[in-house]
Amino acid sequence: MKYKDSIISAAKQTIETEYNAIKNLISLIDDEFAEAVSYIYNSNGRVVVTGIGKSANIATKIVATLNSTGTPAIFMHAADAIHGDLGIIQEHDTVICISKSGNTPEIKVLVPLIKNSENKLIAITSNRESFLGTQADYVLHAYVEKEACPNGLAPTTSTTAQLVLGDALAICLLELRGFSSKDFAKYHPGGALGKKLYLRVNDMSSVNQKPKVFADSSVKDVIVEISKGMLGATAVINDAEEIIGVITDGDIRRMLSNNDFIGNLTAKDIMSSNPKRIENDAMAVEALEVMEDNGISQLMVEAQGKYAGIVHLHDLVKEGIL
């Protein structure tokens, strides 16, 4: 391919430049960073994140990360702020202003207005000596030596550094709040991620058929029950509704292959005893782990020792768990 070597070289150089810049950020994390995090943690308001240009795009992502990890946040575009949106900032809010240079005209107009309202101002900037850097109450130093852009113009390394500091800020707040996976699930109820955190076995098995036979049930009854349940299996239970075995459609095929006469066979003759099972209030991801570890497609579900249904691998696929 024409230009292949130059493409690969440019890509590697971009990654190396940004990697070095991010690595250097470690040395810039200081007491001031910790003080900024502590202030947000102890405040009663939201975090208002603002910026202009590419920094505004980074601000929206930081807002999303903060909101999803337990810190209420809202985005305010710096240009819109000085044309009416300044009212977004409430009395107890903390403002984070993102700007590589810290000297853009919009920032110079916005910063005094924030300071006049007595809201704390946190700067994420590459230039501590800039207007923004000197006016802010706290500075998160996002210094980068150069942009990955060969012309030094397109914001690349600088926006990556801003994003990394925003992530560091959010994770520090998450840990201070003791934000757990259950908390995370509250903010991510949709999609596969959310379902992995809150979906339980009973949510799936309760809407399935509940096929069951007894140990002395005929093979005909077993086949009818498997077909009716549409799960490729049936539980074998005793009079106390306890699971004593399972029969799958694979067991039926093996029975037909190995026996010329099946009229005298019953469920106990072809069932697999002591099948794998799971409690109905277990997480769906736990059911997936059991299935994967044992190479099975159906898993018996029980509630307080009683048969409660079947969860199938297809249920997990349908819900996006797998």
User: Would the annotation count 77 as a binding residue?
Assistant: yes
- Side-chain-side CA neighbours of residue 148 (13 Å): 21
**Could you check whether 4-178 and 201-318 share the same CATH topology?**
no
Q: What is the pLDDT of residue 191?
A: 62
Strands 212-214 and 298-303: unpaired
In the chain, which stretches have pLDDT less than 70? Answer: 182, 185-194
**CATH topology classification for 4-178:** Rossmann fold (3.40.50)
- Please provide residue 72's backbone torsions phi and psi, each rounded to the nearest 5 degrees: -60, 130
Q: Could you tell me the residue ranges of all domains in the chain? A: 4-178, 201-318
Question: Using CA atoms, how far apart are residues 306 and 222, in angstroms rounded to an integer?
Answer: 20
Question: Using CA atoms, how far apart are residues 255 and 206, in angstroms rounded to an integer?
Answer: 30
CATH assignment, 201-318: 3.10.580.10
Structure tokens at 271: 């069932």
pLDDT in tens, 217-273: 999 999 999 999 899 999 999 999 999 999 999 999 999 988 888 888 999 999 999
Q: What is the pLDDT of residue 185?
A: 65
Sign, CA torsion 214/218/223/225: negative
- Amino acid making up residue 204: M
